[in-house]
Structure 1
Amino acid sequence: MAPELVGLIGILALLGALTIGVPIGVSLALTGMVGLMVMLSPEAALVKAGVVVFEVAQKYELGVLPLFLLMAHLCFAAGASRDFFEVAARFVGHRRGGLGLASIAGCAGFGAISGSSLATVATVGSAALPEMRRAGYNPGFAAGALAAGGTLGALIPPSGALIVFGIIAEVSIGHLFTAAIIPGFTQALFYMIAIAVLCWFKPELGPRSVRVGWRERMRGLLGIIDILILVVFVIGGLMIGWFTPTEAASVGVIVAFVLMAIRGAFNRAAIGDAFAKTLSTTGMIYLIIIGAILFATFISVTGIADLMSSTVREMDASPVVIIIVIALMLLVLGSFLDGLALMLLTTPIFLPIVLELGYSPIWFGIFLVRTMEIGFVHPPLGLNVYVIQSIGKDIPLGQIFRGIVPFLIADFFHLAMLIAFPVVTLWLPSAMGG
Structure 2
Amino acid sequence: MTLTLIGFAILLLLAFLGVPLAFATLAVGFFGLMYLRGLDAALAASSSWIVDTSINYNFSIIPLFVFMGALIHRSGISGDLYAASYAWLGRFRGGLALAGVMSCAGFAAVCGSSLATAATMTRVAVPSMRRFRYHDGFSAGTIAAGGTLGIMIPPSVPLAIYGIVAGEDIGQLFIAGILPGMLLVVLFLLAVLIVTAIRPDIGPKGRAMGLMETLRASYSTWPVIILFAIVLIGIYVGLFTPTEAAGVGCAGAFIMGVLRGHFRDRASLYGVIEETVTTSAMIFAIVFSALVLAQFVNLTGMPYELRALVLEMGLGPTGLVLTICAICVVLGMVFESIGILLLIIPVFLPSLDLLGVNLIWFGILVIIVIELGLITPPIGMNVFTVKSVAPEIPLKAIFLGVLPYIAAMVLGGVLILFIPQIATLLPDAMR
Confirm or deny a common fold (TM above 0.5).
yes
Aligned partner letter, 1:219: R
Structure 2 CA distance for aligned equivalents of residues 42 and 187 of structure 1: 48
* Aligned residue number for residue 88 of structure 2: 91
Q: CA offset at residue 381 of structure 1?
A: 0.5
The Cα offsets for residues 377-412 of structure 1, whole Å up to 9 and x where unpaired, read as 101101111222233333222222122111111111
Mapping 1:65-214, distance limit 5 Å? 65-214=62-211
| Alignment check: 8 A CA contact 1:104 1:192 kept | yes
Displacement, 1:424? 1.1
Alignment of 1:32-431 (within 5 A): 32-267=29-264, 268-431=266-429
Distance 1:313 1:174, change over 3 A: same
Letter in 1 for 2:422: V
* C-alpha separation in 2, matches of 1:77 and 1:411: 29
Partner Cα distance (2:215, 2:83) in 1: 12
Please report the RMSD computed on the Cα atoms of aligned residues, expressed in angstroms: 1.5
Paired amino acid for 2:301: G
- How much does 1:201 deviate? 2.5
Q: Which amino acid aligns with 2:329?
A: L
- Which region of structure 1 is more displaced relative to structure 2, 336-345 or 92-101? 336-345
Give per-residue Cα distances to partners, 1:84-127, cap 9 Å, x unaligned: 11110110100111111111101100011211111101111111
1:249 to partner: Cα distance: 0.9
Which residues of structure 1 form unaligned runs of 5+?
none
Give the letter aligned to residue 327 of structure 1. Answer: C
| Unmatched 5+ stretches in structure 2 | none
> Which shows bigger deviation, 85-94 or 313-322?
313-322
1:81 is paired with a residue whose SS is helix
CA shift, 1:255, in A, is: 1.6
Displacement of 1:179 in angstroms is 0.9
1:257: how far off?
2.2
**Secondary structure of the structure 2 residue equivalent to 1:128:** helix
Contact 2:102–2:185 under 8 Å retained in 1: yes
Shift of 1:317: 4.2
Distance 1:141 1:261 in 2: 36
Partners of 1:78 and 1:329 lie apart in 2 by 38
Runs of 4+ with deviation above 3 angstroms:
none
C-alpha distance in 2 between matches for 1:417 and 1:131:
33
Whole-angstrom CA distance in 2 between matches of 1:253 and 1:330: 32
Deviates more, 1:93-102 or 1:19-28: 19-28
| SS across alignment from 2:377 | coil
Query: How many positions carry a matched residue from both structures?
Result: 430
Cα displacement string for residues 59-82 of structure 1 (whole angstroms, at most 9, x for unaligned residues): 111111111111121222322132
Asked if 2 retains the 8 angstrom alpha-carbon contact of 1:85 and 1:106, the reply is yes
Distance 2:34 2:221 in 1: 54
> SS of the residue aligned with 1:331?
helix
Shift of 1:287: 1.7
- Deviations 1:174-222 (CA, angstroms, capped at 9, x unpaired): 1111111111110111111111112223222211111011111111111
Q: Report % sequence identity.
A: 37
Residue by residue over 1:327-364, the C-alpha shift from the partner in whole angstroms, topping out at 9 and shown as x without a partner, is: 22221222233333222222222233222222122222
Bigger mean CA offset, 121-130 vs 199-208: 199-208
The SS at the match of 1:151 is helix
Which amino acid is 2:179 matched to? I
TM-score (norm 2): 0.96
1:336/1:285 CA distance change after superposition, 3 Å: closer
The answer (yes or no) to whether the contact 1:111–1:117 under 8 Å persists in 2 is yes
Alignment partner of 1:82: what SS? helix
Rounded Cα–Cα distance in structure 2 between residues aligned with 1:377 and 1:75: 24
State the distance in 1 between where 2:330 and 2:223 align. 41
Q: Residues 233 and 30 of structure 1: is their aligned pair in 2 closer, same or farther, counting only changes over 3 Å? A: same
